[in-house]
Amino acid sequence: MVPAAAHPRSGRGRRGRAGRFLRALAAAGIVLALLGLVASAAVYVVLGGLTNPVHFDSLAEVVPGIRVNILVLGLDAPIYNGRAVPEFDVRKATGSRTDTMMLVTVDRENKEVCILSLPRDTRTIIAGREEYGYDKLGHAHAYGGPDMIVATLSRLLDIPIHYYVRVNSAGVAKIIDLLGGVEIYVERDMHYNDPYQDLHIDLKKGLQVLDGDKAVQYLRYRSGSDIERIERQQKFLLALKDQLFQLGTISKIPSLVDEVVTCVDTNMTPSEMLSFAKLALKMGDATVRTGTLPGENALIEDPGCPPLWYWALDEDACAAIVDEFVFGVDPTANAEITVEVQNGTNVNGLAARFAAELERQGYNVVAVTDAERKDHKVTQVVDRSRSKDKLRRLSRAVLRYLPGAEVGGARPIEGKPDFTIILGEDYAAEASSSASLGRSVGWR
C-alpha cells in the first residue's frame, strides 16, 4: 500500500503554527517595550521641563566680560598760603577738589569704550554728608577723598565703580610727553593767566602737536560754560586714542606702565594696570563713544543756603544714558527676548517690580507669577534660549542688581519663554535697600 499523506491538521503542522505565533508575540512584546521606553523618555522630558531639574552655576562666571567701570579724576592743585601747589603728590592728595571727572566703561567682548563726562557742579547728596543737604559733586573728593566720591557717584547713578584713577596736571603732562605728544586742531586762540593757580595758557589756533604742557593748557582752558570745556576734553581724548594706536606708539604701551604708575594714584594693582595695557593692544579698532551726564545750568536756593549755580540733572535722560553707556542696554534687541518672572520669596510684589524694570529696558515679559517654592535664597535664571547672545543680553539686566545670581540651561519647550527668572531673597534685600535710599529699581 502507498502510505497515506500527512493530514494538514496533524500535530506537526500545529507545532509550526504555534512557533510562528510565539515568535510574532515576542516581536510584538519587544515593540511594545520599545514604545514604553520612548513614552517614558517623553514623560521624563515633559516632567523635566515642568519640574526644572536644572544644574545652576554662577551667572557672572558663565557670562564673563561684563563692563568694567573706571572713574577718572583730575585733581585741582591744593592751595597753601593763598597759592596753588601744582607739583603735589597725587598719591597723598587730601583736600583737593576734582576739576575733571569721567566715567570710563570698557566692554572687552564687544570692543567698545564709553566715556561719560561728569560736570563738577552736578547737584547731588554727598555720601556720608547727608545731613548737609545738596552739594556739588566736585566737592566730594575734598571732603573725603576717592572713597567718598566713588560712594557718592555709585549711589547717584546706581552703578558699580570697580576702579578709580587720580591724576594731576603734572601727571597728565608727563603721560602726554611719554606718548610723544598729541596732534589736534586748536579751534581758537587761547590766552589766560592766573598766578594764584599757577595757570598760564597761550595757544594759537590751528592744527599742531601738543606736548604735555600745551596739552594741559588746552584741557584746562575755560571760556564760557564748563560743558564747552568738557566737549574739548572729549575731542582731545579721541585724538589721544588715535595717537595711542599708531604703530610707533602702541608698542610702547606695556613698557610705559611702570612710568605711568608714578604719575597717577589708583586702586588698581600693577598687574591689573598691565592687564589693561595689554587689553589696549587688542582694542585698536575699538569703538569709542563720548557723552555728558544730561542736565542744565540752574540757579537753585536750598533752605538755609544762598543761591548757587548747579548742573541740575535731567533724571529721565540720565537713566537712558546710563542704561546705554554703562550697561549696554539695546531695547530693540531686547524686544526679541521673552522672559517669565517668578517670585520665589514671601515678599509681595517682587516679580512685578523686576518685570517692570525689564520692560523698561525693552525685554518682552510674557508672564509674572509666583514660583512653586517660596524659599529661594539666590535668584536663578533658567535658560531655554540656546542663544549665547540672548543670555549675554539678559545677564546685563540681572547682574546689574544681582551679582550673585545663578543660571542653568534647560531644554527648549514649546510655549515656554526663552528665560524664567526666579527671584530670591537676594533681590528682596536689593529692593529694600533701593527703597531705603529713595531709589526705584532703575536709575533713581
Residue range 52-91, pLDDT digits in tens: 468 899 998 888 766 889 999 988 766 666 666 666 667 7
One domain, residues 378 and 319: no
Number of folded domains that form the chain: 2
Domain coverage including residue 408: 57-62+329-436
The answer to the question of residue 37 being in a domain is: no
One domain, residues 276 and 416: no
**Among residues 311, 327, 343, which one ends one of the domains?**
327
Q: Residue 143's pLDDT is what?
A: 92
One domain, residues 125 and 274: yes
**Among residues 285, 306, 327, which one ends one of the domains?**
327
Percent of the chain with pLDDT over 90: 51
Contact 157, 69 (CB under 8 A): no
Per-residue confidence band for 440, with pLDDT thresholds at 50, 70 and 90: very low
Contact 117, 290 (CB under 8 A): yes
One domain, residues 194 and 277: yes
Torsion of Cα atoms, 331 then 122 then 401 then 109, to 10°: 60
Per-residue confidence band for 217, with pLDDT thresholds at 50, 70 and 90: very high
Q: Is the pLDDT of residue 442 over 50?
A: no
Place of cell 555720601: 127
Give the β-pairing of 163-167 and 68-75.
Answer: parallel
User: Which pLDDT tens digit goes with each residue over 254-272?
Assistant: 667 777 777 788 898 878 8
- C-alpha 63/C-alpha 160 separation (Å) is 17
Residue 315 grid cell: 533724571
User: Which pLDDT tens digit goes with each residue over 356-403?
Assistant: 999 999 999 999 999 999 999 999 999 999 999 999 999 989 998 999
Identify the CATH number of the domain in which residue 428 sits.
3.30.70.2390
One domain, residues 313 and 343: no
Question: pTM of the entire structure?
Answer: 0.77
Give ∠ CA 389-392-396 in degrees, rounded to 5: 145
One domain, residues 107 and 177: yes
Identify the CATH number of the domain in which residue 255 sits.
3.40.630.190
User: Which pLDDT tens digit goes with each residue over 181-212?
Assistant: 899 999 999 999 877 677 789 999 999 999 99
Cα distances from 7 to residues 13, 15, 20, in angstroms, run 9, 13, 19
One domain, residues 148 and 288: yes
Q: Residue 6's pLDDT is what?
A: 47
Give the β-pairing of 123-125 and 134-136.
Answer: antiparallel
One domain, residues 282 and 314: yes
Torsion of Cα atoms, 22 then 24 then 27 then 31, to 10°: -130
Amino acid at 226: D
The answer to the question of residue 9 being in a domain is: no
